[in-house]
Amino acid sequence: MNPIRPKILVVDDTPANLVAMRRLLARADADIFEASSGNEALALCLDHQFALVLLDVNMPEMDGFEVAEFISENDHLNETPIIFVTAAYADDVNRIKGYTAGAVDYIAKPINDVILQSKVNIFLELYRARALLQSALDELSTRNEQLTNEVAERTRMEQLVRHQATHDALTGLPNRLLFRERLEGAITLGNGGGATFALAYIDIDGFKGVNDASGHAAGDELLKAIALRIDARTRGTDTVARLGGDEFAVLLHDTADAAGALTRCQALCDAVAEPYTLTIGDIRVPARVGASIGVTMFHHGMAYDEIVAIADGAMYEAKRSGKNRCVLA
């Protein structure tokens, strides 16, 4: 990327001096701007970014020192280099005053062409180098922003893929894969002396009848409604999962004893059994189902397959003994 073409501002209240300066700077690879007063110079500085300002010291109304002080005190202009062009170059007092005002160099009048060209070229090269550096920094900043966005998007996609792989697409609950991961984690903690917990297996009674009578859309809406009810009646630390079809499981943390586990599961059973009104398109479909729940407490030394088999067996016992009830293994 090519940097912006440099601009030089020449400030002098004498027209002949401006003409002479224009001639001397004709070979400079820059656009030349002219101002015949301090006010005109400041107006141009506010509208343009100059690579260099060649500033006459002695001007009426606003002299070069005042112009330089304004430029050096302005946040948007204070990096603009100023060279004073003056017949008083040999005067140490004026020279110190000029440096204090913000000048970076002096050129004595009458102007030596070689000295002028040499100093101007130095500042133009500095300007081009700074412009190239700024361009590189801007490009780097843009690229860093792109990389940050790409990393954020990749992270988001990875999280989405992970969520899709571990959650049921219909109900949004954890699926069998994530449920196993959490149950195995709870078992590891329990066998290591951590808090005890209970495991409940739930099978929906009467779901097939609703599905067959009202269609799969009604069945899907019913499963989502059931999932919401179970999830709403468990704790934030619990895990409610859909294992597939009309089977759910609940990992009940911080459950101290079997009586407490049975009480919590009975609340789930009662919630599932409450009537439903399903909305299928423009049609409202009433539905009633129940839940057969098998629950077991975790005991030290249990493994994953063992506790799952016990809870599953208790759930089938609930079905055999009349459905819509809880059985504690």
Asked if residue 155 belongs to a domain, the reply is: no
Please check whether residues 207 and 106 belong to one and the same domain. Answer: no
CA angle 297-181-323, nearest 5°?
Answer: 45
Asked if residue 249 belongs to a domain, the reply is: yes
Domain count, the chain: 2
- Name every residue whose Cβ is closer than 8 Å to that of residue 183 and which is 6 or more positions away in sequence: 199, 239, 251, 304, 307, 308
**What CA–CA distance (Å, rounded) separates 247 from 143?**
50
Please check whether residues 195 and 315 belong to one and the same domain. Answer: yes
**What CA–CA distance (Å, rounded) separates 71 from 102?**
8
**What CA–CA distance (Å, rounded) separates 302 from 288?**
36
Please check whether residues 202 and 117 belong to one and the same domain. Answer: no
**What CA–CA distance (Å, rounded) separates 296 from 305?**
13
Catalytic residues: 246
**pLDDT score, position 92:** 57
For residue 320 the two structure tokens come to: 């055999």
Instruction: Name the residue type at position 40.
Output: E
- What is the CATH classification number for the domain harbouring 63? 3.40.50.2300
Please check whether residues 100 and 193 belong to one and the same domain. Answer: no
pLDDT at 87 over 80: no
Please check whether residues 302 and 182 belong to one and the same domain. Answer: yes
Asked if residue 160 belongs to a domain, the reply is: no
Asked if residue 70 belongs to a domain, the reply is: yes
Note the pLDDT tens digit of each residue in 261-292: 999 999 999 999 999 999 998 899 999 999 99
**What CA–CA distance (Å, rounded) separates 239 from 174?**
8
Please check whether residues 122 and 219 belong to one and the same domain. Answer: no
Please check whether residues 184 and 309 belong to one and the same domain. Answer: yes
**What CA–CA distance (Å, rounded) separates 153 from 209?**
44
For 18, the domain range is 7-135
**What CA–CA distance (Å, rounded) separates 141 from 133?**
12
- What is the CATH classification number for the domain harbouring 312? 3.30.70.270
Note the pLDDT tens digit of each residue in 21-59: 889 898 888 999 999 998 999 999 889 989 899 988 888
Residue, of 163 and 72, whose pLDDT is higher: 163
End position of a domain, from candidates 80, 115, 135: 135
pLDDT at 242 over 90: yes
Please check whether residues 204 and 307 belong to one and the same domain. Answer: yes
Span of 40-54, 174-188, 313-327 with lowest mean pLDDT:
40-54
pLDDT at 145 over 50: yes
Please check whether residues 131 and 240 belong to one and the same domain. Answer: no
| Exposed / middle / buried, residue 50 (Cβ in 10 Å: 0-12, 13-18, 19+) | buried
pLDDT at 1 over 50: no
pLDDT at 82 over 70: yes
Note the pLDDT tens digit of each residue in 197-241: 999 999 999 999 999 999 999 999 999 999 999 999 999 999 999
Asked if residue 40 belongs to a domain, the reply is: yes
DSSP state for residue 195 in the 8-state scheme: -
Please check whether residues 318 and 220 belong to one and the same domain. Answer: yes
Asked if residue 248 belongs to a domain, the reply is: yes
The label of the residue with tokens 């005053």 reads 97
Average per-residue pLDDT for the chain: 90
The predicted model gives 118-142 an average pLDDT of 88
End position of a domain, from candidates 79, 109, 135: 135
Whether pTM exceeds 0.85: no
Please check whether residues 305 and 194 belong to one and the same domain. Answer: yes
The predicted model gives 298-318 an average pLDDT of 96
Asked if residue 140 belongs to a domain, the reply is: no
End position of a domain, from candidates 135, 168, 200: 135
On whether the CB atoms of residues 48 and 72 are closer than 8 A, the answer is no
On whether the CB atoms of residues 210 and 287 are closer than 8 A, the answer is yes
Please check whether residues 207 and 259 belong to one and the same domain. Answer: yes
Asked if residue 271 belongs to a domain, the reply is: yes
Hey, which bits of 103-259 come out as E strands?
A: 105-108, 197-205, 239-244, 247-253
pLDDT at 156 over 70: yes
CA angle 170-171-177, nearest 5°?
Answer: 90
On whether the CB atoms of residues 38 and 71 are closer than 8 A, the answer is no
